[in-house]
Copies of this chain bind each other. A is one copy, B any other.
Amino acid sequence: MSTFGSIYRVTTFGESHCKAVGVIIDGVPPGLPLSEADVQPQLDRRRPGQSDLTTPRDEKDKATILSGTEKGYTLGTPIAINVPNQDQRPHDYGEMDYYPRPSHADFTYLQKYGIKASSGGGRSSARETIGRVAAAAVAEKYLALTHGIEVVAFVSSIGNVAMEPMSVWESQEQEAEWLGRWKKWWQYLKTVQRKEVDASDVRCPDPEIAQKMRERILASKNVSDSIGGTIVCVIRNAPTGLGEPCFDKLEAKLAHAMLSIPATKGFEIGSGFAGTDIPGHVHNDPFILRGERLGTTTNFSGGIQGGISNGEDIYFKVAFKPPATIGQAQATATYDGIDGELAAKGRHDPCVLPRAVPIVEAMAVLTIMDTLLQQLGRKAAHTLLPADANIPAVLIGELGKGKVVGKGKQVDGEVA
């Protein structure tokens, strides 16, 4: 269905050629200062026509808040946001329409619904993500105001032009050097800012690699081909305790959120696939006292353990395939199975990565917002109960040492 989230509930609507796209957001906390100016910047980062790397279609994508606010504050009631489609013209049919576009949604939508929109893939259009980005902008303001949470995504590879040098474990001898590279990476994720990301139109914060990525994309564009890549995203200052055991682990919800973005093919949390070849004694993140609570000295876990955030930076990577719609002629078949050739006309993105950065951020924000509201509720419910229900404290009593455990206080040295 078209709804994401259980407490911060986002429901989107709209296709390419209908009157508007948009969203209803239910469950917005009341009393949040909010206006269209909070929503527009991420929509502008998402919209087409930003540079020669993206489709030259130039759509304004202006958001209007229809409900749920008054005098600049949210009321706690549903916020509807509307973005008119500039191109509402009925699609001009041509021979191309006999062909389902290879690796596009034309065929599967017809199979699913038994009916075919003029735009082919209907809701698979990237325009559907406008509602998500708008809904996330509202949530992001809440997360920043109340917890200082920051979400930053950037392009980490285009084709084989890759930013990060991380690789799988090789041997015990090289452990120090190898681990050093990971630590540098974790440090990088602690500081990277959206401003640095936006310094290049490819949205890679490393200027040299960004330049190579530009060239890689333009090489595809020049031959009417397309190319994929990866986006890395980091979430900073998320509190501990987000995510639900079992089916709704935080990484499971993030994976769900990311693979719901058009053209995605893969997801990694923390060490990801590289982690499959790191021995347990290295991969485990040791604990250390950091201020009021425990932190970890490494972060292969990606900020999540047992499905629940541990207070460290949450980071993950998302794979995007090359866009399906290309200008090159492709041998394929019509809906009726007649072999032929299809060459897409019109203007297409040779690479979706630069415009996908705010969408990745949006889905990360929606996931964190929903899990945060869940956890705030649980904590509020727990807090009302008598305070002596802490089993670790009981445990210490059993051992006869009378120490308070699990409250961030020190116990004396005999324990260790």
Using A2-B245, A15-B67 as known contacts, say yes or no to A75 and B122 having CB atoms under 8 A apart: yes
A241 touching B145 in the complex, CB below 8 Å, given contacts A228-B278, A279-B225: no
Answer yes or no: A416 CB below 8 A from chain B CBs: yes
Sample 8 A-B pairs with CB under 8 A, ordered by A number: A12-B78, A18-B66, A20-B66, A76-B378, A108-B304, A122-B245, A249-B260, A266-B273
The answer to whether B287 and A319 have CB atoms under 8 Å apart is no
Tell yes or no: A154 within 8 A of B by CB.
no
List, in ascending order, chain B residues with CB within 8 A of A42's CB: none
6 other A-B residue contacts (CB within 8 Å) besides A30-B378, A102-B296, A254-B259: A2-B246, A147-B384, A265-B268, A283-B321, A294-B335, A336-B403
> A257–B253 Cα gap in the complex (Å)?
9
Q: Interface centre among A244, A333, A408, by most B CB within 10 Å?
A: A333
Taking a contact as CB atoms closer than 8 A, the residue among B3, B33, B266, B294 that contacts A247 in the complex is: B3
Nearest to A10 among chain B residues (CB) is B247
Q: Are B266 and A11 in contact (CB under 8 A)?
A: no
Across-interface contacts of A339 in B (CB, < 8 A)? 288, 416
Q: Which of B105, B279, B304 contacts A322 (CB 8 A)?
A: B279
A116's partner among B229, B288, B319, B406 (CB-CB below 8 A) is B406
Indicate which residue in B12, B266, B278, B340 contacts A268 across the interface (CB closer than 8 Å): B266
Option from B98, B145, B270 in Cβ contact (under 8 Å) with A415: B98
A220 beta carbon closer than 8 Å to chain B: yes
Interface: A194 (CB within 8 A): no
Chain B residues with CB under 8 Å of A37's CB are none
A211 sits at the interface (CB 8 A): no
Cβ contact within 8 Å between B240 and A260:
no
| Contact assessment for B273 and A79 in the assembled complex, using a CB-CB cutoff below 8 Å | no
B3 touches A335 (CB 8 A): no
The stretch among A174-182, A195-203, A369-377 that forms the contact with chain B is A369-377
Please indicate the chain B residues that have their CB under 8 angstroms from the CB of A253 in the complex. Answer: 256
The answer to whether B124 touches A389 (Cβ under 8 A) is no
**This protein's copies in its complex:** 4
Complex: chain B residue closest to A110, CB-CB: B406
Does the CB pair B268–A32 fall under 8 Å?
no
- Bound complex: CA of A79 vs CA of B375, how far in Å? 19
Contacts known (A108-B308, A294-B107, A377-B376); A31 close to B382, Cβ less than 8 A: yes
Closest to A395 in B: B93
Complex contact B415–A20 (CB within 8 A):
no
Q: Which residues of B contact A265 (CB under 8 A)?
A: 251, 268-273, 275-276, 302
Measured between C-beta atoms, what is the minimum distance from A215 to chain B in Å? Answer: 15
Chain B residues within an 8 Å CB radius of A389: 30-33, 73, 114-115
CB A279 to nearest CB in B, in angstroms, measures 5
Which residue in chain B gives the minimum CB-CB distance to A5? B247
Residue among A99, A280, A406 with the most chain B CB within 10 A? A280
Nearest 3 pairs of A and B residues by beta carbon = A105-B306, A377-B377, A289-B337
Q: How far is the CA of A20 from the CA of B95 in the complex (A)?
A: 41
Contact indicator A116/B280 (Cβ below 8 Å): no
Q: Which residues of B contact A264 (CB under 8 A)?
A: 251
In the complex, whether A59 has a CB less than 8 A from a CB of chain B is no
Kindly provide the distance from the CB of A93 to the nearest chain B CB, expressed in whole angstroms: 5
Contact A12 B246 (CB under 8 A): yes
The reply to whether A416 and B334 form a contact with Cβ atoms under 8 Å apart is yes
Cβ of A9 < 8 Å from any Cβ of B? yes
**Could you say which of A43-51, A184-192, A323-331 contacts chain B?**
A323-331
Closest to A119 in B: B70
Does A209 count as interface, using CB distance less than 8 angstroms? no
A204 at the interface (CB under 8 A from B): no
A255: contacting residue among B26, B258, B415, CB under 8 A: B258
| Residues in chain B near residue A407, CB distance under 8 A | 336
